[in-house]
Amino acid sequence: MDNLNLRKLEYFPDKNPFLDKSKIHIQDETITAYVGHHKLINFKTDKILTLPMICTIEEKNKRQFVEVFADDVQKIFNLSRTGRRVFIEILLLYQSDQLTDNFTDSIILVWLDDGLNGMKLDMGNKTFQNGLKELISKEFLKPKLRNQYWVNPAIFFKGDKIAFIKEYQIKSSFTKTEEKTNHIKQDLPDDGYQTDIEDFTNK
């Protein structure tokens, strides 16, 4: 940036150079900016939204990959530290299943000899049980049979790529609900009797 001379700029009079896919390098991270728009479904309204998107791609080893994923899951579902630790170990176990490369809808979890399914863990049985209870209560898992659990397909996956999408919306200063409420208030009788809107409308 220090070498940039505003009096000697390179001009692009015929075509916007950002119209093609581009990569922006910042320190050790590569940010891939997709020019254009990405289509998403609003599950509240079932409408297809067209949104601009910036995607950052970062390479991690297997455990780092799962830990980064668990960090975002922890924020979204408000997991405790124990819940996060147990989730990481269960997800690593789930992804290491060699029986199939596709989605598996259940997992066997057996705590034996200070380990999970024969794998030594840096936690005790009580810590694991507390984390497991949290994952069940927050619907990460559902009991299927003894020591066997259904997994939530929205959270458990097999693969080497994952993406989190966070959408920002500009808050409206005046909503339709407020407009309707104000309209009802204007229709209230001025008889000195103060009442809730629901009391008035339900009479």
Local confidence pLDDT in tens for the 203 residues of the chain: 678 888 888 888 888 776 665 566 555 555 554 445 666 666 677 777 776 766 667 777 888 888 888 898 999 899 999 999 999 999 988 888 655 556 688 899 998 887 888 888 889 999 999 999 999 999 999 999 999 999 998 888 877 777 777 777 788 776 555 555 555 555 545 554 444 444 434 44
Contact 34, 54 (CB under 8 A): yes
**CA–CA separation, 104 and 147 (whole Å):** 16
pTM for the model stands at: 0.62
What's the number of domains the chain is made of? 2
**CA–CA separation, 183 and 178 (whole Å):** 9
For the chain, list the strands marked E by DSSP: 22-26, 29-42, 47-57, 106-108, 115-116, 119-120, 141-145, 148-151
Phi, psi of 198, rounded to the nearest 5 degrees: -65, -35
Domain interval for residue 76? 62-151
Q: Is residue 53 part of a domain?
A: yes
- 90 plus 131 within the same structural domain: yes
Q: Is residue 52 part of a domain?
A: yes
Reference 91, options 100, 81, 104, 80; nearest CA is 104
- 71 plus 140 within the same structural domain: yes
